């Protein structure tokens, strides 16, 4: 039985975390994440959710509690935003290197300085190399479904998963969504038995100092050094794409929703021009595409759901028939260009067809993103006879600057 409701994105996330059976939750307040963990603490205090809630003194400690709990075999969850995520940075790398299956919601927000409490993606983008799987939701239903699937992905791959959704656009906005039945979720996401856990009856030393070279253990078995262990993380993270697709297929079979785990396509079947974006920004482009289609321009939107591991060949294959691709993003690698743009460009390089690429930076620190501006940017990029030099084409254009 499904439960339909209208609630905020943060509450949707909290209800999904409850459904997922998270056992240990540790969090520190930060806007716009706070209502998510407030809701969790309320449900736990009222006895509506069976879990330990640890109100820690920092985000660094929030993830530390999750690291401790997951290492001892508990399903763990935390959530944060912006500078809170950056304060966790050391622990992000640690959790990934320790191969701990945990889930974190990142309610995306601009990073200081200067302070901004409003939305962009710089927080998550800046942590893209930490070894976490990163997925992006673009509506409340996706927050619920992705969070549930994220726990299963983390536990099957032993890689932590970050579920990203836009601050305010989703976190504080009310939208309808469906919550699956608890018993059905339990069947989809059964309790997980950890292989290597802290247990006095089977003592193991976890995350000990490794040496540059592989070494033999006391039984004469050769064990990897740091580099071999890290290579495993990378290889298994690449394989996580397939696992994510399988999980999505199972989820779709059980709950009727899904089918677009890696990216969600809108009007892309015959598209000559494809817009690529993540999160709610991708939704906004549906209006742009409708208008362009009405004018006879074959445009479509690729909404990227999974950013790390980066689905290089999925995207490159899809874009083989496109003439032009425009990447719009709310974050960048300072001093270079949009991080997603750079990723996409490198994904296309080994393939024969390389469409014209344009990069746009928009909406930083909550700057209003006007659909009209998006329309103009896409339309200009679609026009033939664009005489820009390669350097100009490769330079990101900023939309919505006011000075």
Partner 1 sequence: MTSPAKTTVLGLTDEELIHPGNRACTGCGLSVLYRIGLKALGRDCIFVVPPSCLTVMQGLYPISATQMPVLNGTFASTAAIATGVRAAMKRRGKKTQVVAWAGDGGTSDIGIQALSGALERNEDIIYICYDNEAYMNTGVQRSGTTPRGGLTTTTPYTGKQEQSKNVPEIVAAHNPAYVATCSASFPLDFHDKLLRAKEIKGLKYLHIQTPCPPGWGCDERMTIEIGRMAVECGLFDLYEIIDGTKRLSEPSERLLNKKQLRPLQDYLALQTRFAALTEEQVAGMQKRIDERWKCYREALKEEGQ
Residues near partner 1 (CB under 8 A) are: 23-24, 26, 52, 54-58, 60-62, 64-74, 76, 90-91, 94, 198-200, 202-211, 215-218, 221, 223
In this structure, are residues 302 and 276 in contact, taking their beta carbons and an 8 Å threshold? yes
In this structure, are residues 329 and 121 in contact, taking their beta carbons and an 8 Å threshold? yes
Q: Annotate 268-294 with b (16+ C-beta within 10 A) or e (fewer).
A: beebebbbbbbbbbbbbbbebbebbee
Minimum CB–partner distance for residue 21 and partner 1 (Å): 11
Minimum CB–partner distance for residue 61 and partner 1 (Å): 4
Minimum CB–partner distance for residue 30 and partner 1 (Å): 16
Minimum CB–partner distance for residue 238 and partner 1 (Å): 24
Nearer to partner 1, 183 or 209 (CB): 209
Nearer to partner 1, 94 or 310 (CB): 94
Nearer to partner 1, 12 or 100 (CB): 100
Strands 133-136 vs 306-308: parallel, antiparallel or unpaired: antiparallel
Minimum CB–partner distance for residue 225 and partner 1 (Å): 8
The C-alpha atoms of residue 78 and residue 54 are separated, in whole angstroms, by 10
Nearer to partner 1, 160 or 279 (CB): 160
The residue assigned the tokens 């664009």 is 386
Instruction: Report the interhelical angle of 59-71 vs 89-97 (nearest 10°).
Output: 10
Nearer to partner 1, 67 or 85 (CB): 67
Minimum CB–partner distance for residue 126 and partner 1 (Å): 19
End-to-end CA distance of the chain: 53
Alpha-carbon dihedral 133, 137, 141, 146, rounded to 10 degrees: 0
Nearer to partner 1, 56 or 260 (CB): 56
The C-alpha atoms of residue 110 and residue 302 are separated, in whole angstroms, by 23
């Amino acid at each position: 039985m499904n439960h339909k409701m209208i609630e905020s994105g943060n509450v949707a996330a909290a209800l999904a975390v409850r459904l997922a059976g998270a056992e240990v939750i540790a969090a520190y307040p930060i806007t716009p994440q706070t209502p998510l963990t407030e809701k969790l603490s309320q449900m736990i205090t009222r006895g509506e959710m069976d879990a330990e809630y640890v109100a820690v003194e920092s985000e660094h400690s929030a993830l530390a509690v999750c690291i401790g709990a997951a290492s001892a075999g508990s399903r763990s969850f935390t959530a944060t935003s912006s500078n809170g995520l950056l304060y966790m940075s050391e622990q992000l790398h640690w959790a990934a290197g320790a191969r701990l299956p945990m889930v974190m919601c990142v309610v995306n927000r601009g990073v200081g300085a200067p302070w901004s409490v409003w939305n962009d993606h710089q927080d998550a983008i800046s942590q893209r190399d930490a070894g976490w799987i990163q997925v992006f939701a673009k509506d409340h239903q996706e927050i619920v479904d992705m969070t549930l699937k994220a726990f299963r992905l983390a536990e099957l791959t032993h890689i932590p998963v970050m579920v990203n959704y836009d601050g305010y656009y989703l976190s504080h906005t009310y939208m309808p969504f469906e919550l699956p039945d608890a018993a059905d979720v339990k069947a989809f996401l059964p309790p997980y038995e950890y292989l290597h856990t802290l247990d006095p009856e089977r003592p193991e030393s976890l995350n000990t100092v490794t040496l540059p070279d592989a070494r033999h253990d006391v039984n004469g078995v050769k064990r990897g050094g740091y580099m071999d262990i890290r290579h495993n993380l990378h290889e298994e993270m690449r394989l996580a794409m397939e696992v994510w697709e399988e999980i999505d297929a199972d989820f779709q079979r059980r709950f009727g929703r899904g089918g677009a785990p890696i990216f969600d396509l809108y009007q892309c079947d015959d598209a000559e021009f494809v817009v690529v974006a993540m999160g709610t920004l991708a939704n906004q482009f549906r209006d742009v595409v409708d208008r362009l289609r009405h004018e006879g321009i074959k445009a479509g939107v690729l909404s990227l759901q999974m950013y790390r591991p980066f689905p290089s060949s999925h995207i490159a294959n899809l874009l083989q028939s496109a003439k032009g691709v425009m990447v719009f993003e709310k974050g960048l690698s300072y001093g270079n260009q949009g991080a997603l743009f750079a990723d996409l460009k490198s994904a296309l390089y080994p393939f024969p067809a390389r469409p014209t690429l344009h990069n746009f930076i928009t909406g930083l620190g909550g700057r209003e993103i006007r659909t009209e501006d998006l329309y103009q940017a896409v339309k200009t990029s679609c026009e033939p006879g664009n005489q820009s030099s390669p350097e100009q084409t490769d330079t990101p254009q900023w939309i919505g600057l006011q000075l």
